[in-house]
Amino acid sequence: QVQLVESGGGLVQAGGSLRLSCAVSRSILSFNVRGWYRQAPGKQREFVATINTGGSTNYADSVKGRFTISRDNAKNTVYLQMNSLKPEDTAVYYCNVVYVTSGGLRTSDYWGQGTQVTVSS
C-alpha cells in the first residue's frame, strides 16, 4: 500500500504564501502523473495542478500565475508553492499520484488524507 502524507497547510492572510509538501512512500517515478486537488466546504473536489514524468505542468485557470507544482524524485516528494493566496483558495488540499495508461485508464491511483488551507481576508 502506498502512503501519501501532506504537510504545510495552515492559516494565512490574503496575499500570503504557503508551501505544501506531499511525501510518498514509494518512488514517485512509479507514477506518471502527480498532482494536487482541493475541496472547499460544500463543493466537489477540483483539480489544482499536475506534473508529469517529463516535468510538464498543468494548472487550473484559477491558480495560474500564483501556484507552482514541482517534485523531487530523490525525496519522493511533490510540492505546491502557493503565492498571492485569496480567501477563495480556502479548502482541504489533497495530493494524488497515479499511473495513467495510454488509453487514459487511471491505475495505481493513490490519495493523501489532505491538509487544510485557510486564507483570511
Nearest to 67 by CA among 1, 4, 8: 8
Question: 51, 35 in Cβ contact below 8 A?
Answer: yes
Cell for 50?
499536475
Computed over every residue of the chain, the mean pLDDT equals: 96
pLDDT one-digit tens code per residue, 28-65: 988 999 999 999 999 999 999 999 999 999 999 999 99
Whole-number Å distance between alpha carbons of 92 and 96: 13
**How many whole angstroms from its chain centre is CA 93?**
7
pLDDT band at residue 118 using 50, 70 and 90 as cut-offs: very high
pLDDT band at residue 73 using 50, 70 and 90 as cut-offs: very high
pLDDT band at residue 15 using 50, 70 and 90 as cut-offs: very high
List CB contacts of 8: < 8 A, sequence separation 6 or more.
Answer: 18, 19, 20, 21, 115
pLDDT one-digit tens code per residue, 85-99: 999 999 999 999 999
The pLDDT value recorded for residue 66 is 98
Whole-number Å distance between alpha carbons of 79 and 105: 24
